[in-house]
Homo-oligomer: A and B are copies of this chain.
Amino acid sequence: MSRAVIAGRMLDAPAPGKTDLEEAALLIDQSGTIIERAGRGTPQFDMLLRSPDVRKLDARSLLIPGLVDLHIHAPQWPQIGTALDLPLERWLGEYTFPLEARYEDIAFAEAVYDDLVPALLAQGTTTALYFTTIHEDASLALARSCLKYGQRGFVGLVAMDNAALCPETYRHASPEAAIDATRRFIEAVRKLPGNETGLVQPVITPRFIPACSDALLRGLGELARETGVRVQTHASESDWEHECVRTRFGCTDVEALDTFGLLRQHTVLAHAGFTNADDRERIRKRQSAIAHCPISNAFFAGAVLPVRHLIDEGTACGLGTDISGGYSPSIFENARQAVIAARMLTSGVNPDTAPGKRGSPGLEIDFAEAFWLATRGGAEALGVPTGLLRPGMKLDALELRMDIGMSFPEGPDCAANAVQKIVCHAGLHSVTRVWVDGKIVDVHGRGKQP
Protein backbone atom coordinates (compact mmCIF):
# COMPACT_ATOMS: atom_id res chain seq x y z
CA MET A 1 0.00 0.00 0.00
CA SER A 2 1.37 3.39 -0.93
CA ARG A 3 0.69 6.73 0.72
CA ALA A 4 -2.86 7.97 0.32
CA VAL A 5 -4.80 11.17 0.88
CA ILE A 6 -8.41 11.52 2.04
CA ALA A 7 -10.04 14.94 1.80
CA GLY A 8 -13.42 16.22 2.85
CA ARG A 9 -15.35 17.21 5.93
CA MET A 10 -14.23 15.33 8.99
CA LEU A 11 -15.52 15.20 12.51
CA ASP A 12 -13.91 13.75 15.61
CA ALA A 13 -14.08 14.22 19.36
CA PRO A 14 -10.73 14.85 21.06
CA ALA A 15 -12.34 14.84 24.51
CA PRO A 16 -15.77 14.10 25.98
CA GLY A 17 -18.14 16.83 24.80
CA LYS A 18 -15.54 18.48 22.57
CA THR A 19 -16.10 17.93 18.85
CA ASP A 20 -14.28 19.28 15.89
CA LEU A 21 -15.74 19.56 12.36
CA GLU A 22 -13.45 20.79 9.63
CA GLU A 23 -12.80 20.37 5.96
CA ALA A 24 -9.36 18.87 5.87
CA ALA A 25 -7.03 16.45 4.14
CA LEU A 26 -5.26 13.51 5.76
CA LEU A 27 -2.03 11.98 4.53
CA ILE A 28 -1.76 8.29 5.39
CA ASP A 29 1.51 6.36 5.23
CA GLN A 30 2.13 2.77 4.21
CA SER A 31 1.53 1.49 7.72
CA GLY A 32 -1.94 3.06 7.87
CA THR A 33 -0.80 5.87 10.15
CA ILE A 34 -2.05 9.43 9.67
CA ILE A 35 1.16 11.41 9.24
CA GLU A 36 -0.30 14.77 8.35
CA ARG A 37 -3.54 16.70 8.60
CA ALA A 38 -4.12 20.01 6.84
CA GLY A 39 -7.22 22.18 7.09
CA ARG A 40 -8.82 23.88 4.09
CA GLY A 41 -7.27 27.23 3.39
CA THR A 42 -3.74 26.13 4.14
CA PRO A 43 -1.13 25.69 1.40
CA GLN A 44 -0.58 22.15 2.61
CA PHE A 45 -4.26 21.33 2.07
CA ASP A 46 -4.03 22.49 -1.53
CA MET A 47 -0.88 20.46 -2.04
CA LEU A 48 -2.41 17.28 -0.61
CA LEU A 49 -5.43 17.76 -2.86
CA ARG A 50 -3.17 17.62 -5.88
CA SER A 51 -1.92 14.17 -4.85
CA PRO A 52 -2.60 11.49 -7.46
CA ASP A 53 -3.98 9.19 -4.73
CA VAL A 54 -6.48 11.65 -3.27
CA ARG A 55 -9.93 10.39 -2.39
CA LYS A 56 -12.40 13.28 -2.05
CA LEU A 57 -15.59 12.80 -0.09
CA ASP A 58 -18.73 14.15 -1.71
CA ALA A 59 -20.58 17.13 -0.27
CA ARG A 60 -23.16 15.11 1.69
CA SER A 61 -20.60 12.80 3.27
CA LEU A 62 -18.14 13.15 6.07
CA LEU A 63 -15.38 11.17 7.70
CA ILE A 64 -15.55 10.13 11.34
CA PRO A 65 -13.38 7.77 13.42
CA GLY A 66 -14.37 4.10 13.37
CA LEU A 67 -16.59 2.79 16.14
CA VAL A 68 -15.29 0.67 19.00
CA ASP A 69 -17.45 -2.11 20.45
CA LEU A 70 -16.00 -2.76 23.91
CA HIS A 71 -18.21 -5.74 24.73
CA ILE A 72 -19.64 -8.32 22.37
CA HIS A 73 -20.25 -12.07 22.63
CA ALA A 74 -19.42 -13.27 19.12
CA PRO A 75 -20.97 -16.75 19.51
CA GLN A 76 -24.36 -15.24 20.42
CA TRP A 77 -24.75 -13.68 16.96
CA PRO A 78 -27.16 -16.37 15.69
CA GLN A 79 -29.65 -15.55 18.45
CA ILE A 80 -29.46 -11.76 18.30
CA GLY A 81 -32.92 -10.30 18.92
CA THR A 82 -34.20 -13.50 20.53
CA ALA A 83 -35.64 -14.39 23.93
CA LEU A 84 -35.02 -11.03 25.59
CA ASP A 85 -38.35 -11.37 27.36
CA LEU A 86 -36.92 -14.15 29.51
CA PRO A 87 -35.29 -13.59 32.88
CA LEU A 88 -31.50 -13.86 32.90
CA GLU A 89 -31.26 -17.36 34.33
CA ARG A 90 -33.63 -18.86 31.74
CA TRP A 91 -32.00 -16.84 28.98
CA LEU A 92 -28.63 -18.30 29.95
CA GLY A 93 -29.80 -21.85 30.60
CA GLU A 94 -32.23 -22.31 27.72
CA TYR A 95 -30.65 -20.24 24.99
CA THR A 96 -27.19 -18.91 25.60
CA PHE A 97 -25.20 -21.76 27.15
CA PRO A 98 -26.64 -24.37 24.73
CA LEU A 99 -25.81 -22.10 21.79
CA GLU A 100 -22.28 -21.44 23.03
CA ALA A 101 -21.74 -25.16 23.56
CA ARG A 102 -22.28 -25.70 19.82
CA TYR A 103 -18.97 -24.00 19.01
CA GLU A 104 -17.22 -27.29 19.58
CA ASP A 105 -18.25 -27.66 15.92
CA ILE A 106 -15.59 -25.70 14.07
CA ALA A 107 -17.58 -25.54 10.84
CA PHE A 108 -20.48 -23.93 12.68
CA ALA A 109 -18.10 -21.46 14.29
CA GLU A 110 -16.47 -20.52 11.01
CA ALA A 111 -19.85 -19.91 9.36
CA VAL A 112 -21.06 -17.68 12.18
CA TYR A 113 -17.86 -15.68 12.56
CA ASP A 114 -17.47 -15.21 8.83
CA ASP A 115 -20.94 -13.68 8.85
CA LEU A 116 -20.50 -11.62 12.00
CA VAL A 117 -17.25 -9.79 11.29
CA PRO A 118 -18.25 -8.21 7.96
CA ALA A 119 -21.70 -7.45 9.40
CA LEU A 120 -20.06 -5.45 12.21
CA LEU A 121 -17.71 -3.69 9.82
CA ALA A 122 -20.73 -2.70 7.73
CA GLN A 123 -22.23 -1.15 10.88
CA GLY A 124 -19.04 0.87 11.31
CA THR A 125 -17.41 -1.19 14.06
CA THR A 126 -13.73 -1.07 13.22
CA THR A 127 -12.57 -2.42 16.59
CA ALA A 128 -14.29 -5.08 18.68
CA LEU A 129 -13.48 -6.61 22.04
CA TYR A 130 -14.92 -10.09 21.81
CA PHE A 131 -15.89 -12.84 24.22
CA THR A 132 -15.89 -16.16 22.37
CA THR A 133 -16.53 -19.57 24.01
CA ILE A 134 -14.36 -22.09 25.84
CA HIS A 135 -13.38 -23.67 22.49
CA GLU A 136 -9.86 -22.87 21.33
CA ASP A 137 -10.28 -23.86 17.68
CA ALA A 138 -13.51 -21.92 17.31
CA SER A 139 -12.01 -18.89 19.01
CA LEU A 140 -9.08 -18.98 16.63
CA ALA A 141 -11.62 -19.05 13.80
CA LEU A 142 -12.91 -15.69 15.02
CA ALA A 143 -9.38 -14.32 15.08
CA ARG A 144 -8.94 -15.55 11.49
CA SER A 145 -12.23 -13.91 10.44
CA CYS A 146 -11.00 -10.60 11.87
CA LEU A 147 -7.79 -10.92 9.86
CA LYS A 148 -9.65 -12.01 6.73
CA TYR A 149 -12.01 -9.02 6.75
CA GLY A 150 -9.53 -6.59 8.28
CA GLN A 151 -11.16 -5.78 11.61
CA ARG A 152 -9.13 -4.71 14.64
CA GLY A 153 -10.10 -7.58 16.92
CA PHE A 154 -9.46 -8.31 20.58
CA VAL A 155 -10.46 -11.91 21.04
CA GLY A 156 -10.99 -13.54 24.41
CA LEU A 157 -11.25 -17.29 24.91
CA VAL A 158 -13.79 -17.60 27.70
CA ALA A 159 -12.58 -19.22 30.93
CA MET A 160 -15.25 -20.73 33.23
CA ASP A 161 -14.93 -23.67 35.57
CA ASN A 162 -17.47 -23.28 38.38
CA ALA A 163 -19.62 -26.41 38.38
CA ALA A 164 -22.26 -24.72 40.52
CA LEU A 165 -23.11 -22.28 37.79
CA CYS A 166 -21.84 -23.60 34.47
CA PRO A 167 -23.43 -26.55 32.68
CA GLU A 168 -21.52 -29.82 32.78
CA THR A 169 -21.29 -29.85 28.99
CA TYR A 170 -20.04 -26.31 28.78
CA ARG A 171 -17.24 -25.49 31.20
CA HIS A 172 -13.56 -26.07 31.72
CA ALA A 173 -12.78 -29.26 33.62
CA SER A 174 -10.49 -27.50 36.10
CA PRO A 175 -8.75 -24.19 36.76
CA GLU A 176 -5.58 -25.61 35.24
CA ALA A 177 -7.39 -26.67 32.07
CA ALA A 178 -8.75 -23.15 31.62
CA ILE A 179 -5.42 -21.48 32.35
CA ASP A 180 -3.50 -23.80 30.02
CA ALA A 181 -6.08 -23.25 27.28
CA THR A 182 -5.80 -19.49 27.70
CA ARG A 183 -2.02 -19.68 27.52
CA ARG A 184 -2.14 -21.78 24.33
CA PHE A 185 -4.72 -19.42 22.84
CA ILE A 186 -2.57 -16.36 23.50
CA GLU A 187 0.35 -17.96 21.72
CA ALA A 188 -1.79 -19.21 18.84
CA VAL A 189 -3.31 -15.77 18.16
CA ARG A 190 0.08 -14.10 18.26
CA LYS A 191 1.42 -16.59 15.71
CA LEU A 192 -1.52 -16.49 13.31
CA PRO A 193 -0.45 -16.05 9.68
CA GLY A 194 -1.37 -12.54 8.57
CA ASN A 195 -1.22 -11.19 12.10
CA GLU A 196 2.32 -9.87 11.89
CA THR A 197 1.19 -6.30 12.63
CA GLY A 198 -0.78 -7.46 15.66
CA LEU A 199 -4.15 -6.34 14.24
CA VAL A 200 -5.74 -9.14 16.26
CA GLN A 201 -4.85 -9.51 19.94
CA PRO A 202 -5.70 -12.20 22.49
CA VAL A 203 -7.49 -11.22 25.71
CA ILE A 204 -7.61 -13.05 29.05
CA THR A 205 -11.31 -13.57 29.72
CA PRO A 206 -12.72 -14.96 32.95
CA ARG A 207 -16.44 -14.97 32.11
CA PHE A 208 -17.45 -13.36 35.38
CA ILE A 209 -16.59 -14.03 38.99
CA PRO A 210 -19.57 -16.34 39.69
CA ALA A 211 -18.54 -18.65 36.82
CA CYS A 212 -14.93 -18.97 38.01
CA SER A 213 -13.20 -20.66 40.92
CA ASP A 214 -10.73 -18.72 43.06
CA ALA A 215 -7.89 -20.76 41.60
CA LEU A 216 -8.92 -19.85 38.05
CA LEU A 217 -9.20 -16.14 38.86
CA ARG A 218 -5.80 -16.21 40.59
CA GLY A 219 -4.18 -18.15 37.76
CA LEU A 220 -5.52 -15.82 35.09
CA GLY A 221 -4.30 -12.81 37.07
CA GLU A 222 -0.83 -14.36 37.14
CA LEU A 223 -1.00 -15.12 33.43
CA ALA A 224 -1.93 -11.51 32.71
CA ARG A 225 1.07 -10.26 34.69
CA GLU A 226 3.35 -12.75 33.01
CA THR A 227 2.22 -12.14 29.43
CA GLY A 228 1.09 -8.52 29.54
CA VAL A 229 -2.09 -9.55 27.77
CA ARG A 230 -5.24 -7.45 28.33
CA VAL A 231 -8.06 -8.72 30.56
CA GLN A 232 -11.83 -8.47 30.16
CA THR A 233 -14.70 -9.71 32.28
CA HIS A 234 -18.20 -8.77 33.43
CA ALA A 235 -18.48 -6.82 36.69
CA SER A 236 -21.33 -5.67 38.92
CA GLU A 237 -23.86 -6.16 36.14
CA SER A 238 -27.00 -6.83 38.16
CA ASP A 239 -28.27 -7.00 41.73
CA TRP A 240 -28.01 -10.79 41.66
CA GLU A 241 -24.48 -10.90 40.32
CA HIS A 242 -23.26 -8.11 42.57
CA GLU A 243 -24.73 -9.81 45.66
CA CYS A 244 -23.29 -13.14 44.61
CA VAL A 245 -19.76 -11.71 44.73
CA ARG A 246 -20.43 -9.81 47.94
CA THR A 247 -21.61 -13.01 49.61
CA ARG A 248 -18.62 -15.00 48.38
CA PHE A 249 -15.86 -12.48 49.05
CA GLY A 250 -17.39 -9.82 51.29
CA CYS A 251 -16.45 -7.13 48.81
CA THR A 252 -17.38 -5.70 45.44
CA ASP A 253 -16.51 -7.23 42.07
CA VAL A 254 -13.89 -4.57 41.48
CA GLU A 255 -12.15 -5.20 44.81
CA ALA A 256 -12.21 -8.95 44.20
CA LEU A 257 -10.84 -8.64 40.67
CA ASP A 258 -8.07 -6.40 41.98
CA THR A 259 -7.18 -8.97 44.65
CA PHE A 260 -6.75 -11.58 41.92
CA GLY A 261 -4.53 -9.29 39.84
CA LEU A 262 -7.11 -8.90 37.11
CA LEU A 263 -7.59 -5.16 37.39
CA ARG A 264 -4.79 -3.94 35.15
CA GLN A 265 -4.05 -1.32 32.55
CA HIS A 266 -6.71 -1.67 29.81
CA THR A 267 -8.72 -4.29 31.68
CA VAL A 268 -12.28 -3.77 30.41
CA LEU A 269 -15.16 -4.38 32.81
CA ALA A 270 -18.49 -4.90 31.09
CA HIS A 271 -21.55 -3.14 32.57
CA ALA A 272 -20.32 -2.13 36.05
CA GLY A 273 -23.63 -0.43 36.85
CA PHE A 274 -23.40 -1.30 40.53
CA THR A 275 -19.89 -0.03 41.09
CA ASN A 276 -19.51 2.68 43.71
CA ALA A 277 -17.20 5.69 43.92
CA ASP A 278 -14.45 3.63 45.62
CA ASP A 279 -14.67 1.02 42.88
CA ARG A 280 -14.35 3.68 40.23
CA GLU A 281 -11.36 5.22 42.00
CA ARG A 282 -9.72 1.80 41.99
CA ILE A 283 -10.53 1.38 38.29
CA ARG A 284 -8.82 4.70 37.55
CA LYS A 285 -5.84 3.84 39.72
CA ARG A 286 -5.31 0.59 37.80
CA GLN A 287 -5.96 2.33 34.44
CA SER A 288 -8.79 -0.07 33.76
CA ALA A 289 -12.00 0.85 31.94
CA ILE A 290 -15.74 0.25 31.77
CA ALA A 291 -17.78 -0.95 28.79
CA HIS A 292 -21.19 0.70 29.02
CA CYS A 293 -23.89 -1.42 27.35
CA PRO A 294 -27.08 0.63 27.62
CA ILE A 295 -29.39 -1.54 25.50
CA SER A 296 -28.43 -4.76 27.25
CA ASN A 297 -28.69 -3.07 30.63
CA ALA A 298 -32.36 -2.25 30.01
CA PHE A 299 -33.02 -5.99 29.82
CA PHE A 300 -30.60 -7.56 32.28
CA ALA A 301 -29.07 -4.97 34.61
CA GLY A 302 -32.11 -3.42 36.28
CA ALA A 303 -30.46 0.01 36.62
CA VAL A 304 -28.51 2.59 34.64
CA LEU A 305 -24.75 3.09 34.91
CA PRO A 306 -24.19 6.78 35.80
CA VAL A 307 -21.84 7.56 32.91
CA ARG A 308 -21.90 11.24 33.89
CA HIS A 309 -19.80 10.41 36.96
CA LEU A 310 -17.33 8.40 34.88
CA ILE A 311 -16.79 11.23 32.42
CA ASP A 312 -16.48 13.85 35.15
CA GLU A 313 -14.03 11.75 37.16
CA GLY A 314 -12.01 10.63 34.16
CA THR A 315 -12.84 6.95 34.57
CA ALA A 316 -12.12 5.36 31.17
CA CYS A 317 -15.27 4.25 29.40
CA GLY A 318 -16.60 3.25 25.99
CA LEU A 319 -19.66 1.52 24.58
CA GLY A 320 -20.53 -2.13 24.06
CA THR A 321 -23.35 -3.79 22.15
CA ASP A 322 -23.27 -6.85 24.43
CA ILE A 323 -24.67 -8.98 21.63
CA SER A 324 -26.96 -10.81 22.28
CA GLY A 325 -27.97 -9.50 25.70
CA GLY A 326 -28.26 -6.31 23.67
CA TYR A 327 -30.25 -6.69 20.46
CA SER A 328 -28.40 -4.19 18.31
CA PRO A 329 -25.08 -4.70 16.50
CA SER A 330 -24.86 -0.93 16.06
CA ILE A 331 -22.69 1.22 18.29
CA PHE A 332 -24.57 4.23 16.91
CA GLU A 333 -27.81 2.80 18.31
CA ASN A 334 -26.08 2.13 21.63
CA ALA A 335 -24.78 5.71 21.66
CA ARG A 336 -28.34 7.01 21.26
CA GLN A 337 -29.45 4.70 24.04
CA ALA A 338 -26.64 5.93 26.28
CA VAL A 339 -28.01 9.47 25.94
CA ILE A 340 -31.59 8.29 26.57
CA ALA A 341 -30.67 6.07 29.53
CA ALA A 342 -28.80 8.95 31.18
CA ARG A 343 -31.81 11.22 30.59
CA MET A 344 -34.09 8.67 32.22
CA LEU A 345 -31.72 8.24 35.16
CA THR A 346 -31.77 12.03 35.56
CA SER A 347 -35.51 12.59 35.24
CA GLY A 348 -36.66 9.31 36.76
CA VAL A 349 -39.33 7.16 35.15
CA ASN A 350 -42.40 6.84 37.36
CA PRO A 351 -45.05 9.50 36.65
CA ASP A 352 -46.75 8.74 39.99
CA THR A 353 -43.68 9.93 41.90
CA ALA A 354 -43.45 13.67 42.68
CA PRO A 355 -41.12 15.47 40.24
CA GLY A 356 -38.63 16.46 42.94
CA LYS A 357 -38.24 12.85 44.06
CA ARG A 358 -38.43 11.09 40.72
CA GLY A 359 -34.93 11.31 39.34
CA SER A 360 -31.27 12.01 40.02
CA PRO A 361 -30.65 15.50 38.61
CA GLY A 362 -27.47 16.30 36.76
CA LEU A 363 -26.67 12.86 35.36
CA GLU A 364 -27.41 13.61 31.68
CA ILE A 365 -24.79 13.06 29.03
CA ASP A 366 -24.99 14.87 25.72
CA PHE A 367 -24.69 13.61 22.15
CA ALA A 368 -21.10 14.81 21.81
CA GLU A 369 -20.16 12.81 24.90
CA ALA A 370 -21.90 9.74 23.49
CA PHE A 371 -19.98 10.19 20.23
CA TRP A 372 -16.72 10.36 22.18
CA LEU A 373 -17.64 7.16 24.06
CA ALA A 374 -18.34 5.42 20.74
CA THR A 375 -15.02 6.42 19.20
CA ARG A 376 -12.11 7.82 21.20
CA GLY A 377 -13.44 6.63 24.57
CA GLY A 378 -13.39 3.03 23.40
CA ALA A 379 -9.97 3.41 21.82
CA GLU A 380 -8.49 4.90 25.01
CA ALA A 381 -10.04 2.12 27.09
CA LEU A 382 -8.20 -0.44 24.97
CA GLY A 383 -5.07 1.64 24.53
CA VAL A 384 -5.08 1.62 20.75
CA PRO A 385 -3.94 4.63 18.69
CA THR A 386 -7.28 5.19 16.96
CA GLY A 387 -10.48 7.12 17.54
CA LEU A 388 -9.21 10.45 16.23
CA LEU A 389 -8.44 11.70 12.75
CA ARG A 390 -5.12 13.18 13.82
CA PRO A 391 -1.43 12.68 13.07
CA GLY A 392 0.03 9.74 14.93
CA MET A 393 -3.23 7.78 14.88
CA LYS A 394 -3.91 4.72 12.79
CA LEU A 395 -6.64 5.47 10.26
CA ASP A 396 -9.74 3.60 11.48
CA ALA A 397 -12.54 5.62 9.93
CA LEU A 398 -16.00 5.66 8.35
CA GLU A 399 -17.38 7.61 5.47
CA LEU A 400 -20.95 8.53 6.46
CA ARG A 401 -23.63 9.76 4.12
CA MET A 402 -26.08 11.87 6.10
CA ASP A 403 -29.45 11.98 4.43
CA ILE A 404 -32.04 12.17 7.21
CA GLY A 405 -33.87 15.43 7.85
CA MET A 406 -32.86 17.15 4.63
CA SER A 407 -29.96 19.34 5.51
CA PHE A 408 -26.63 18.83 7.12
CA PRO A 409 -25.96 21.49 9.75
CA GLU A 410 -24.08 24.62 8.76
CA GLY A 411 -23.18 27.77 10.69
CA PRO A 412 -21.60 28.50 14.05
CA ASP A 413 -23.06 25.56 15.98
CA CYS A 414 -22.46 23.17 13.15
CA ALA A 415 -20.04 20.80 14.95
CA ALA A 416 -22.44 20.36 17.87
CA ASN A 417 -25.40 19.95 15.55
CA ALA A 418 -23.57 17.58 13.24
CA VAL A 419 -22.51 15.27 16.04
CA GLN A 420 -26.07 15.19 17.35
CA LYS A 421 -27.43 14.37 13.90
CA ILE A 422 -24.85 11.61 13.53
CA VAL A 423 -25.60 10.01 16.89
CA CYS A 424 -29.37 10.29 16.31
CA HIS A 425 -29.53 9.01 12.75
CA ALA A 426 -26.47 7.11 11.60
CA GLY A 427 -26.74 3.41 11.03
CA LEU A 428 -26.18 0.63 8.53
CA HIS A 429 -27.73 2.73 5.76
CA SER A 430 -25.33 5.64 6.25
CA VAL A 431 -21.97 3.85 6.47
CA THR A 432 -20.73 3.96 2.89
CA ARG A 433 -17.04 3.10 3.33
CA VAL A 434 -14.90 1.72 6.13
CA TRP A 435 -11.14 1.93 6.77
CA VAL A 436 -9.23 -0.10 9.33
CA ASP A 437 -5.49 0.37 9.85
CA GLY A 438 -5.44 2.62 6.78
CA LYS A 439 -7.03 0.04 4.49
CA ILE A 440 -10.50 0.08 2.96
CA VAL A 441 -12.11 -3.09 4.22
CA ASP A 442 -14.25 -5.44 2.24
CA VAL A 443 -17.81 -5.56 3.46
CA HIS A 444 -19.30 -6.68 0.18
CA GLY A 445 -22.51 -8.58 0.27
CA ARG A 446 -23.65 -6.04 2.84
CA GLY A 447 -24.65 -3.40 0.34
CA LYS A 448 -21.38 -1.48 0.56
CA GLN A 449 -19.04 -0.43 -2.22
CA PRO A 450 -15.55 -0.78 -0.83
Contact B345 A349 (CB under 8 A): yes
Mask for A121-132, Cβ within 8 A of B = 1, else 0? Answer: 000000000000
Contact B327 A425 (CB under 8 A): yes
Contact A78 B425 (CB under 8 A): no
Stretch from A219-227, A350-358, A433-441 at the B interface: A350-358
Mask for A278-305, Cβ within 8 A of B = 1, else 0? Answer: 0000000000000000010011011111
Contact A421 B302 (CB under 8 A): no
Stretch from A80-88, A199-207, A371-379 at the B interface: A80-88
Contact A84 B367 (CB under 8 A): yes
Total contacting residues, chain A, CB less than 8 A = 64
Q: How far is the CB of A290 from chain B (nearest CB, A)?
A: 13
Q: Cβ of A337: which chain B residues have Cβ within 8 Å of it?
A: 340
A351 to B85, CA, bound (A): 21
A329 to B295, CA, bound (A): 20
Q: How far is the CB of A294 from chain B (nearest CB, A)?
A: 9
Contact B115 A406 (CB under 8 A): yes
Q: Cβ of A79: which chain B residues have Cβ within 8 Å of it?
A: 405
Q: Cβ of A215: which chain B residues have Cβ within 8 Å of it?
A: none
Contact A304 B349 (CB under 8 A): yes
The answer to whether the Cβ of A404 comes within 8 Å of any Cβ in the partner chain is: yes
Contact A306 B407 (CB under 8 A): no
Contact A427 B429 (CB under 8 A): yes
Q: Cβ of A239: which chain B residues have Cβ within 8 Å of it?
A: 355
Complex copy number for this chain: 2
A358 to B353, CA, bound (A): 12
A175 to B77, CA, bound (A): 58
By CB atoms of chain B within 10 A, which of A83, A85, A420 has the most? Answer: A85
Contact B304 A350 (CB under 8 A): yes
A302 to B354, CA, bound (A): 11
Q: Cβ of A350: which chain B residues have Cβ within 8 Å of it?
A: 303-304, 345, 348, 359-360
Contact B421 A81 (CB under 8 A): yes
Q: How far is the CB of A15 from chain B (nearest CB, A)?
A: 17
The answer to whether the Cβ of A273 comes within 8 Å of any Cβ in the partner chain is: yes
Mask for A91-122, Cβ within 8 A of B = 1, else 0? Answer: 00000000000000000000010010001000
A239 to B351, CA, bound (A): 9
Tell me the nearest residue of chain B to A340, going by C-beta.
Answer: B298
The answer to whether the Cβ of A174 comes within 8 Å of any Cβ in the partner chain is: no
A337 to B343, CA, bound (A): 13
The answer to whether the Cβ of A195 comes within 8 Å of any Cβ in the partner chain is: no
The answer to whether the Cβ of A328 comes within 8 Å of any Cβ in the partner chain is: yes
The answer to whether the Cβ of A447 comes within 8 Å of any Cβ in the partner chain is: yes
Mask for A392-418, Cβ within 8 A of B = 1, else 0? Answer: 000000000000111101000000010
- The A313-347 residues at the B interface (CB cut-off 8 A) are 324, 327-329, 336-337, 340-341, 343-345, 347
Sample 30 A-B pairs with CB under 8 A, ordered by A number. A77-B405, A80-B405, A80-B424, A81-B404, A81-B423, A81-B425, A84-B367, A84-B424, A85-B364, A85-B420, A119-B404, A274-B351, A298-B347, A299-B343, A302-B348, A303-B348, A303-B350, A304-B351, A305-B351, A327-B336, A327-B425, A328-B424, A337-B340, A341-B344, A345-B349, A348-B350, A349-B359, A349-B360, A350-B360, A427-B427
User: 6 smallest A-B Cβ distances: which pairs?
Assistant: A81-B424, A303-B351, A80-B405, A327-B424, A302-B347, A81-B421
Binding site for B on A (CB under 8 A): 77-85, 112, 115, 119, 239, 273-274, 295, 298-299, 301-306, 324, 327-329, 336-337, 340-341, 343-345, 347-353, 355, 358-360, 364, 366-367, 404-407, 409, 417, 420-421, 423-425, 427-429, 447
